[in-house]
Amino acid sequence: MRLREVCKKFDGGIDAIGGVNLSVAPEEFVSIVGSSGCGKSTLLRIIAGLVPSTGGTVEVHGEPVMAPRRDVGMMFQRPALLAWKTSLENVLLPLRMRRTVQVSDLEDALRLLDLFHLGGFEHHFPRQLSGGMQQRVALARLMMTGADVRLLDEPFGAVDELTRELLNLELLKIHDRTASATIFVTHNISEAVLLSDRILVMSPRPGMIAADIPVPLERPRSPEMAYSTAFQKIALKVRYHIQLSQSERGMTG
C-alpha cells in the first residue's frame, strides 16, 4: 500500500487531510493515533476506495485505488452486522455477494468462528451476542474476505477494557497466522504498541503524519510485554508526540 501526498478537502471547505505520504509493507501492522477529527477515518475511507481524495494517489498492489477492492477489507467501530442474519451468515456475506458459497466455504467460516471462540453461537443473531462477541463476528467476516490489506477503524473503541484486551489477543493471533498489510486506528496507546510494527501520530486538522515511531518489540507479542521498560518507553514516546503535535497546532492557531 502506498500513499503519495494524499489530501482531502470536503465541500464546504473543511481541510481534513493535508498531504499524507505513507507506505505499508505486505505483512506490516501500522497503527494511527491522533485526536478525534484529525482525519483518520477519512484517510481509511480514501484507502478503501469509499471516498475520493482531492489530491495525491493511493496504490494497493501497485494499482491506483479508484473504487472499493476485494483485496482491501475494512472494519468499523460498530460491528455493522446484519440483524436478521446469524453469525455464520454474517461471516459468509462477503462471499455470497461474489459467488455461490461452497461446502468448503462453510467449513472455513465455522473454523473462523471457532477460532474467535464463537463455537456454539454460529446460529445466533447479533442481538443475542454481547458487544465483544459481535466484534469477533465482524473480525471473522473480515478474515473471510481473504483481503490481504486490512483497515480497522477504532474496532474496539466501544467495548469495555477487559473485552478489548481479549480482542487484542485475537487480533495478534490472526496477524501471526495470516499477516497482512494492516492499518489500525485507535485512541489507545498501549493497544497500538502491543499490536504494531510502527505507530503513526497524526496531527490535528488538516491531518498529517507528525511522527512515525517504530515498535521493535519481538513477535509473537504477549500482553505481559506491556510491563516491560522497552514497551513503556515506546508508549511514552507516542504520548509525547501526540502532545507535541497538539501544542504545535495551538501555537499556529
Ligand X SMILES: Nc1ncnc2c1ncn2[C@@H]1O[C@H](COP(=O)(O)OP(=O)(O)O)[C@@H](O)[C@H]1O
Enumerate binding residues for Mg ion (CB under 5 A). Answer: 41
* Cell output for 54: 482531492
The binder of ligand X chosen from 1, 3, 6, 16 (CB under 6 A): 16
Stretch that binds ligand X, among 19-27, 37-45, 98-106, 133-141 (CB under 6 A): 37-45
**Helices and strands (H and E) in the chain: how many:** 7, 10
Name which of ligand X, Mg ion, none residue 241 binds, using a CB cut-off of 5 to 8 Å depending on partner kind: none
Backbone angles phi, psi at 94, to 5 degrees: -60, -35
Residue 43 in grid coordinates: 484517510
Q: What's the rounded Cα separation, in Å, for the pair 162 and 174?
A: 19
Report the residue number, 129 or 152, with the smaller CB distance to ligand X.
152
Segment contacting ligand X by CB under 6 A, of 36-44, 101-109, 121-129, 242-250: 36-44
By CB under 6 A, residue 41 contacts ligand X:
yes
To ligand X, the closest distance from the beta carbon of 37 in angstroms equals: 4
Residues within window 187-216 making contact with ligand X, judged by CB under 6 A: 205
Question: CA–CA distance from 4 to each of 1, 24, 57 (Å)?
Answer: 10, 12, 5
14 binds ligand X (CB under 6 A): yes
Q: Please classify residue 228 by burial: count the beta carbons closer than 10 Å to its beta carbon, then call 0-12 exposed, 13-18 middle and 19+ buried.
A: exposed
Does 145 interact with ligand X (rule: CB under 6 A)? no
The answer to whether 30 touches 184, Cβ cutoff 8 Å, is yes
Residues forming contacts to ligand X in the complex (CB under 6 A) are 10, 12, 14, 16, 36-42, 205
